[in-house]
C-alpha cells in the first residue's frame, strides 16, 4: 500500500515537472512566433508603402502595371516563405511541448 502511494506521488511530481517544462517550451515558441509575425507585418507594410510611392510616381500606364505586378509577385513570394517558416515554427512548438511527456507516456504504456 505504501509503495503504491509513493508511486502515485512520484508520478504526480513527474507529471507536474513535465507540464512546467512543456509550458516553458510553449511560451518560448509562441514568443518566437509572435516576433516573426510582427517582423513580417512590419516588412509587408514597408514594402506596400514603397510600392504605393512607386505607383504614384509612375509616368505611364505601362510603368504602373509593372510596379503593380512586381509588388504582387514579391508579396506572394514573401507570403509563401512566411507561411512555410510559421509552419515550421508551429511544428517545432508541437515537438517541444510534447517532448517532456514522452517518458510519461512510455511508463503508462509499459505498465499495461
The gap between the terminal CA atoms of the chain, to the nearest Å, is 19
pLDDT (tens digit, 9 = 90+) per residue, 36-67?
999 999 999 999 999 999 999 999 999 999 99
Cβ atoms of residues 67 and 51 within 8 Å: yes
Q: Where are the domains of the chain?
A: 2-111
- Nearby residues of 62 by Cβ (< 8 Å), 6 or more positions away: none
Average pLDDT over the chain reads 88
Give the CA-trace dihedral at 42, 43, 48, 54, to 10 degrees.
130
pTM of the complete model: 0.73
Does 13 have pLDDT greater than 90? Answer: no
DSSP state of 57: T
- Nearby residues of 109 by Cβ (< 8 Å), 6 or more positions away: none
Does 106 have pLDDT greater than 70? Answer: no
Amino acid at each position: 500500500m505504501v509503495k503504491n502511494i509513493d508511486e502515485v506521488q512520484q508520478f504526480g511530481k513527474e507529471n507536474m515537472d513535465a507540464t512546467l517544462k512543456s509550458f516553458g517550451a510553449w511560451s518560448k515558441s509562441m514568443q518566437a512566433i509572435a516576433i516573426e509575425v510582427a517582423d513580417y507585418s512590419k516588412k509587408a507594410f514597408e514594402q506596400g508603402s514603397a510600392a504605393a510611392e512607386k505607383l504614384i510616381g509612375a509616368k505611364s500606364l505601362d510603368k504602373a502595371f509593372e510596379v503593380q505586378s512586381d509588388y504582387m509577385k514579391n508579396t506572394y513570394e514573401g507570403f509563401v516563405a512566411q507561411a512555410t517558416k510559421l509552419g515550421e515554427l508551429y511544428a517545432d512548438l508541437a515537438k517541444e511541448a510534447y517532448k517532456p511527456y514522452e517518458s510519461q507516456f512510455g511508463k503508462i504504456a509499459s505498465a499495461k
